[in-house]
Amino acid sequence: MQSVKQKKSDIPLPAEPAAIQPGLDHSPPPPTIPRNSFLKSFVFAFQGILYVLRTQRNMRVHFAAGLLVIAAGIVLGVSAPEWAALLAIMALVYALEMLNTVVEAIVDLVTQEYHPLAKVAKDVAAGAVLVAAIFAVAIALIVLLPRFLHLVFSVLGW
């Protein structure tokens, strides 16, 4: 496995230009992403969100669950504080799922070989998503289940 810390001599240098003119800077410009407007930063952020939704099955599952929770909250008439709790935990799950994708991409970029620390990074990131998802289910049950049961019992006439 290649070490993340490389010596300067280990990094290949770019090919020299054919004709070097003295006094001019011939080094290539640093790679940059043009972010010349505030609105463009939102475009890039939405591209990241769409990438995760398009490529990560678990994010699509979380998103679908979130839509169901929102629909149930509307039907069952949850209060403003309950909406705040539901939306906050949903946002946490989505954000952690996105960070999990970032961790996996960075680890895969650094090495394709098995390394115990790469496994730790990926497993801990996935575990963070799992913890948030478990608490999201608990919060959804605390908020929605009593209302749902009340609706069912009133329909049944109990």
In tens, the pLDDT along 99-125 reads 999 999 999 999 989 999 999 999 999
pLDDT for 69-91, tens place per residue? 999 999 999 999 999 999 999 99
Asked if 113 is an active-site residue, the reply is: no
Q: What is the DSSP string of the chain?
A: ---SS--GGGSPPPPPPSSPPTTS--SPPPP-----SHHHHHHHHHHHHHHHHHH-HHHHHHHHHHHHHHHHHHHHT--HHHHHHHHHHHHHHHHHHHHHHHHHHHHHHH-SS--HHHHHHHHHHHHHHHHHHHHHHHHHHHHHHHHHHHHHHHHHT-
Of the candidates 82, 97, 104, 113, the residue annotated as catalytic is 97
pLDDT value, residue 1: 46
